[in-house]
């Protein structure tokens, strides 16, 4: 059987899945490695086969997305040796202003994507490292880039621009938005399950290791919290979300921090990890009895609720909030806390609240099949 392989690398997770090429909605099997470098966990699943699990101790196992690929893909391939991989779909976080949809990857495309790495240093290099490893392992397959930024193309100027001199916008300094594959996946399922809501004014809350909100009106992205980079908006596992730029100037001029130190601070040592001093993982914080764990979770829920209210302002109203991704799908405590903070908007009565699992891999498979004409 001919199959599509999808590779979805996040900031702390690599997900791999197989889909039937002739029916790209049909998932044949999948696997995941999460928590790079802090006790990685491997999981494999396939219909008719026993699940496989493997845990590594802290400091052992894969420490980045490429190492995770080398551990995960051979294990999945061994379970599905009868499949012929004809296409590989890659989640690419940043497509810049030039990519409004998926495309085949050639040298010119790859070179352009590498130039965008400074705009997403936690994700883009990892995405491309996995891509190049997959190209070596599967040289005969067609490789397709599926972009997180493409979903947000076409928004109004006032939602894309910063209040900087105009030439910066023309040069590409603008709010791109991210998590587009997740939003597209959730929207597709919502159209089947709640078509009335899908065409209304809604906010999708993608809450995982990375977090963002997207305001949609009649199925189109109107505004989103992530902007020029994947740092802006609501707080995340290790990223702070929105921050007064004066803080960064202070860290440079008064604390002597250079660009590399600030990059490390913003991408790897802030967010829930920085606030709690304990962990970037909501599961760890919910299980902790330390007061700083509760403070970090309270801060997170407060900022998400404020962000949803701001998205409602962008929409001029709100019909529903959809929670998705690791935290949004699995933490009832977080959902309840955020909903309580939105009671003044009608959450729990007039305002619809839903949980819809994201399926970024399924969205990648569909886009890959379309590009490759499968």
State the catalytic residues.
Answer: 148
Q: How far apart are CA 313 and CA 315, in angstroms?
A: 5
Token pair for 203: 């906010």
Contact status, residue 18 vs residue 100, Cβ threshold 8 Å:
no
CB 239 within 8 A of CB 228: no
* Matching residue, tokens 């392992």: 137
Residue 288 φ/ψ region, left for φ over 0, alpha for ψ in the -120 to 50 degree band, beta for the rest: beta
Q: What is the CA radius of gyration of the chain?
A: 20
Half-sphere exposure of 364 (CA within 13 A, CB side): 32
Give dist(CA 32, CA 39) in Å, integer. 14
Residue 324: both structure tokens together: 């998705």
Report which DSSP code applies to 81: T
- In three-state secondary structure terms, 204 is strand
Taking alpha carbons only, the member of 207, 182, 187, 184 closest to residue 197 is 187
What tokens does 360 get? 């970024």
HEC readout, 16-48: EEEEECCEEEEEEEEEEEECCCCCCEEEEEECC
Q: Which 3-state string (H, E, C) describes 301-366?
A: HHHHHHHHHHHHHHHCCCCEEEEEHHHHHHCHHHHHHHHHHCHHHCECCCEEEEECCCCHHHHHHH
Contacts of 348 (CB under 8 A, 6+ apart): 339
Q: Which two tokens stand for residue 264?
A: 């490390």
Nearest-5° angle of CA 320, CA 323, CA 328?
155
């Amino acid at each position: 059987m001919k199959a599509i392989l999808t590779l979805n690398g996040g900031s702390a997770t690599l997900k791999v899945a197989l889909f039937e090429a002739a029916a790209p909605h049909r998932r044949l099997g999948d696997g995941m490695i999460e928590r790079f470098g802090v006790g990685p966990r491997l999981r494999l699943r396939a219909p008719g086969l026993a699940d496989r699990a493997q845990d590594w101790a802290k400091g052992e196992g894969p420490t980045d997305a490429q190492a995770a690929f080398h551990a995960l893909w051979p294990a999945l391939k061994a379970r599905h040796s009868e499949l012929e991989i004809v296409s590989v779909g890659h989640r690419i976080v940043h497509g810049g202003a030039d990519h409004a949809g998926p495309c085949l990857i050639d040298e010119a495309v790859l070179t352009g994507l590498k130039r965008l790495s400074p705009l997403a240093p936690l994700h883009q290099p990892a995405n491309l490292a996995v891509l190049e490893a997959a190209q070596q392992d599967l040289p005969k397959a067609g490789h397709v880039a599926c972009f997180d930024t493409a979903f947000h193309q076409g928004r109004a100027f006032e939602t894309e621009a910063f209040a900087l001199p105009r030439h910066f916008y023309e040069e590409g300094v603008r709010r791109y938005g991210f998590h587009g594959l997740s939003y597209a996946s959730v929207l597709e399922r919502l159209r089947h399950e709640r078509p009335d809501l899908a065409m209304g004014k809604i906010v999708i809350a993608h809450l995982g290791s990375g977090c963002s909100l997207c305001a949609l009106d009649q199925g189109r992205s109107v505004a989103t919290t992530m902007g020029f980079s994947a740092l802006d908006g609501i707080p995340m596992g290790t990223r702070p979300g929105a921050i007064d730029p004066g803080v960064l100037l202070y860290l440079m001029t008064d604390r002597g921090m250079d660009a590399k130190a600030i990059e490390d601070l913003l991408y790897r040592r802030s967010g829930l990890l920085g606030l709690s001093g304990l962990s970037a993982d909501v599961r760890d914080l919910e299980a902790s009895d330390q007061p700083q764990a509760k403070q970090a979770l309270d801060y997170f829920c407060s900022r998400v609720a404020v962000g949803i209210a701001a998205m409602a302002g962008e929409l001029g109203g709100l019909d529903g909030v959809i929670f998705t991704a690791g935290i949004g799908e699995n933490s009832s405590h977080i959902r309840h806390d955020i909903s309580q903070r939105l009671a003044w908007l009608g959450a729990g009565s007039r305002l619809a609240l839903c949980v819809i699992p994201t399926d970024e891999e399924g969205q990648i498979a569909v886009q890959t099949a379309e590009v490759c004409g499968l």
